[in-house]
Amino acid sequence: MSRISQISVGALKVTALRDGELSLPAEVLMNLSDEQSQQITSDENNELSTSNVNAYLIQTESQNLLIDTGCRDLFGPTCGFVKDALREAGLGPENITDIFFTHLHPDHVAGAINADGAAVFENASFKLIDLEYNFWTSDDFTDAEVNGNDWASLARSALKAYEDRVETIAFGNDIIPGVTSVSIPGHTPGHSGFRVDDGNESLMQMGDILHVPNLQLDNPNISTVFDVDPEAALKSRKELLDMVSTDKLLCTSGHMINPKFGYIEKSGASYVMAK
């Protein structure tokens, strides 16, 4: 099955690269109903907690921008295929000129380095939001399983591998011409989506506001334990979903399943993908 899904936004070519798919266990999901929790626990192939891990390729005349790099082998055998997806789009790692990280969680940054800690994308810059850089390079981590020392040390290994090519960006600034970072506070301190605008066409990538879209579009109060600031992340999810549905913006996000690109409509307190 194909790992890529392609659209054009003006003159820019945008490709969603499916690094893999997985189901999230009920333990990492908050505000589930008892029935949902039971269904997820009793059926490992349930549709409710299905998730995809997506990276993106944005191509201009002179640049091949990769957004996020997937999770390598850290999340089991169904993930870690970002290079295969890139190859399907006609590129090798050496063709990537720039990488932007929406945030430095393992499923977004692990694919930037191999198991020995060496850079996979030999010619690429390593761009991230300044607040995200400051957060993961601080000494403030405990041994917590989520957002703890292990995750910080992975982020630091990736930063080290690209050390002479790291570029920090302030929110709202261009990543490359035509692609702008968008602040989505809560999931991590420098958590970013991005917009692609060219001519009268636009695309909004909503970062990680949805980890299990089947559940969270229907009930946006369902959250995961991965948020650094859960309250701010919940607020961001609702605000962004309201924004893209009101403005009728074509959108996608880091864990969107199918379709990868679509329009979201508001329906009471829920949201649905437009048919």
Binding mask 27-46 for Zn ion (x = CB under 5 A): --------------------
Q: What's the chain look like in SS3?
A: CCCEEEEEECCEEEEEEEEEEEECCHHHEECCCHHHHHHHHHCCCCCCCEEEEEEEEEECCCCEEEECCCCCCCCCCCCCCHHHHHHHCCCCHHHCCEEECCCCCHHHHHHHECCCCCECCCCCEEEEEHHHHHHHCCCCCCCCCCCCHHHHHHHHHHHHHCHHHEEEECCCCEEECCEEEEECCCCCCCCEEEEEEECCEEEEECCCCCCCHHHHCCCCCCEECCCCCHHHHHHHHHHHHHHHHHCCCCEECCCCCCCCCECEEEECCEEEECC
- For the bound state, the minimum distance from the C-beta of residue 94 to Zn ion, rounded and expressed in Å, comes to 26
- By beta-carbon proximity to Zn ion, the closer residue of 12 and 192 is 192
Q: Is 107 in the site for Zn ion (CB under 5 A)?
A: yes
Which residues in 110-149 contact Zn ion (CB under 5 A)?
A: none
Which residues in 207-226 contact Zn ion (CB under 5 A)?
A: 208
- For the bound state, the minimum distance from the C-beta of residue 50 to Zn ion, rounded and expressed in Å, comes to 14
- For the bound state, the minimum distance from the C-beta of residue 217 to Zn ion, rounded and expressed in Å, comes to 16
Binding mask 171-210 for Zn ion (x = CB under 5 A): -------------------------------------x--
Which part of the chain contacts Zn ion (CB under 5 A), choosing from 107-115, 156-164, 176-184, 212-220?
107-115
Tell me how many residues contact Zn ion (CB under 5 A): 2
Which part of the chain contacts Zn ion (CB under 5 A), choosing from 36-44, 74-82, 105-113, 115-123?
105-113
- For the bound state, the minimum distance from the C-beta of residue 108 to Zn ion, rounded and expressed in Å, comes to 6
Q: By the criterion CB under 5 A, which residues form the site for Zn ion?
A: 107, 208
